[in-house]
Amino acid sequence: MSEETPTHERTFVMVKPDGVQRGLIGEIVNRFEDRGLTLVGGKFSRLDTETARDHYGEHEEKPFFDELVSFITAGPVFAMVWEGADATRQVRSMVGETDPAESAPGTIRGDYGLDLGRNVIHASDHEDEGANEREIKLFFDESELYTYERIDDPWLYEWIVTTLTWFNSLR
Ligand code: IDP
Ligand code: MG
């Protein structure tokens, strides 16, 4: 077993209006499900300007801020919370670079985008301190998040030993 078990955590992810309009919700959900993460919350939301300015507060001084706010409020978004080991870092690596043009094929932005201003997906980042908690709260009530175990969890995580113990007991 690896020396350090990564933190089991929740991370906030959102299909942006371009991703929703282009029919990419299913593809995106599929990737995280296939990876083994657990979907603990998901819903449509239409951001108003105030919430959008709040969500992207860290970028308020940037020249692209107004464009970003009008883009993110242009249509419904699909907000999600995913849970799993090292979830924030793993999701970010599946998302790719901020600019789709710089994102490797195989990443979501590298497979589905070409333009920095239309980059399909948002995902919380550890570099933005406290972003997960803040963004989850902005979109979800606690009662909208569900804790459960995936049936394949014992085959996804080495530290869950139940299945292996059971198989060995049959020999
Ligand atoms: P991230 O989404 O990869 O975390 P951030 O730097 O946090 O990237 O920027 C937030 C969002 O702002 C980006 O996803 C993108 O939509 C937009 N953005 C960032 N930099 C630029 C830019 O230089 N021009 C236009 N939009 C930008
Ligand atoms: Mg960011």
Q: What pLDDT is attached to residue 151?
A: 94
For residue 171, the 8-state DSSP code is: -
98 C-alpha to ligand 1 centroid (Å): 6
- Does residue 74 line the site of ligand 1, with CB under 6 A? no
pLDDT tens per residue, range 70-88: 999 999 999 999 999 999 9
CA-nearest of 159, 116, 85 to 18 is 116
Mutational pocket test of ligand 1: of 68, 94, 97, the residue with most ligand atoms within 8 Å of the beta carbon: 68
Domains of the chain: 8-169 (3.30.70.141)
H or E element that contains 13: strand 8-15
The tens digit of pLDDT for each residue in 85-135 reads: 999 999 999 999 999 999 999 999 999 999 999 999 999 999 888 999 999
Could you count the other beta carbons within 10 Å of the beta carbon of residue 138?
Answer: 14
Per-residue pLDDT of 12-54, as tens digits, reads 999 999 999 999 999 999 999 999 999 999 999 999 999 999 9
Q: Is the CB of 70 under 6 A from ligand 1?
A: no
What's the pLDDT score for residue 160?
A: 86
CA-based nearest residue to 40, from 83, 78, 8, 9? 83
Q: How far is the CA of 35 from the centre of ligand 1 (A)?
A: 25
Residues in contact with 112: Cβ distance below 8 Å, sequence separation at least 6, in sequence order: 19, 22, 24, 27, 100, 120
Based on the residue annotation, tell me whether 122 is a catalytic residue of this protein: yes
